[in-house]
Structure 1
Amino acid sequence: MTGKQQSSQAVHIILWTAQVLLAALFMMGVIMKFQPIAKISVMMPWMGQVPAWFVRLLGIVDLAAALGLILPSLLRIKPRLTPWAAIGSIVLMLCASVFHIARGEASAIGLNIAAACIAAFIAWGRFTKSPIESR
C-alpha cells in the first residue's frame, strides 16, 4: 500500500468515526426529546417552554439526521446523500444556536458549534476527499 493509499484509508476511517459519533449525538437527542417533557425540562428548561409537538418534531429531525449520516454510506445506496445530511445537520445546529442566543442562552451553544464543525468535516470529506461509491 502506498503512502497516498494509506492516507486515503486513514481519512476514510476518520470520516466514518466522525459520522458514527455525530449520529450517536443525534440519537441521544432523539432519546431526550421523546422523554416526558416534565422530566427532561428539568435539565433543559426550553423543552418545557415550547409546545410538546415541537420538541417531538425536533426529535424526528434528529432521527433523520442520524440515519442520513450513516445509512446511505453504510448500505451504499445513494451514498451521496450522506454529505447532504451533514449539510442539513449544519443548518440544524446553526438554527439551534440562533434559538439559544435569542433566548439568552449563548453559553449553551458550544455543543451545537462543535457538532456543526464535525458535520462540515463530514460534508467536505464525503464530497471531495473520500466519497463512497454506490453499489
Structure 2
Amino acid sequence: MEIAYWIVGGLLAVFYLYAGGKKVAQTQERLQPMMGWVDRVPMPLVRVIGALELAGAVGLVLPPLTGVAPVLAVAAAVGLVLIQVGGIAVHLSRGEARLIGLNIGLLAAAAGAVWLGTVWL
C-alpha cells in the first residue's frame, strides 16, 4: 500500500504543482486558452484555487515524507477531491459536460489517495 500511495500521491503532486503554479503566476490572458473558465471567475479566486492546489500538492508529499503529522496527507487529498467537485460544478454550469473527464480522473485519483492514506498512514 505504501508504494501505491507514493505513486498516486506523487503523480497528483506533480500535476497540482504545475496546475496550481500556473494559476498563481500567470495572467488571465495566458490562462484563457487552457482554462476557459477563468473568464467568468475573478482572478483573485483563481489565485486562491491555485494556492490551494499548491498546498494540496505539498500536503500529499511532505507529511508522509517527514513523518510529521502524516494524517495531513489525507486532509490534503480530501481538499483536492473538493477542488475537483467544484471544477466539475463549474464545467457543468457552463454547459461543458464533455470537459469533465480530467476532473473525474483527478477526483478518482485523489479519492484513491484518501483511501490509501487511511490504510497506510
Normalising by structure 2, we get a TM-score of 0.92
Q: Report SS of the residue matched to 1:77.
A: coil
2:90 corresponds to 1:99:
yes
Choose which of 34, 43, 64 in structure 2 pairs with 1:43.
34
Secondary structure of 1:119's aligned partner: helix
1:57: which partner in 2? Answer: 48
Taking the aligned partners of 2:44 and 2:93, their CA distance within structure 1 comes to 21
Q: CA RMSD in A?
A: 1.2
Higher share of residues assigned helix: 2
Could you say which structure has the greater relative contact order, defined with CA pairs below 8 angstroms and 6 or more residues apart? 2
Determine the structure 2 residue equivalent to 1:85.
76
Unpaired runs of at least 5, structure 2: none
Runs of at least 5 residues in structure 1 that lack an aligned partner in the other structure: 1-10
Q: 1:87 to 1:36 in 2, by over 3 A?
A: same
Matching residue of 2:108:
117
Aligned partner of 1:4 in structure 2 is none
Counterpart in the other structure of 1:23 = 13
User: Quick check: 2:16–2:57 contact (8 Å CA) kept in 1?
Assistant: yes
Task: Report whether the alignment pairs 1:68 with 2:42.
Answer: no
The Cα shift of 1:50 comes to 1.9
In structure 1, what residue type is equivalent to 2:94?
A: R
What is the Cα deviation at residue 63 of structure 1? 0.8
Q: Which has the larger radius of gyration?
A: 1
Query: Residues of 1 paired with 2:103 and 2:65: CA distance?
Result: 25
Deviation string 1:74-100 (CA, Å, 9 cap, x unpaired) is 111100111121111111111110111
1:8 maps to what in 2? none
Q: Distance between the aligned counterparts of 1:90 and 1:118, measured in 2?
A: 9
CA drift at 1:31? 2.5
| 1:18, distance to aligned residue in structure 2 (A) | 0.6
Whole-angstrom CA distance in 1 between matches of 2:114 and 2:21: 25
CA distance in 2, matches of 1:119, 1:42: 26
Contact 2:21 2:54 in 1 (8 A): no
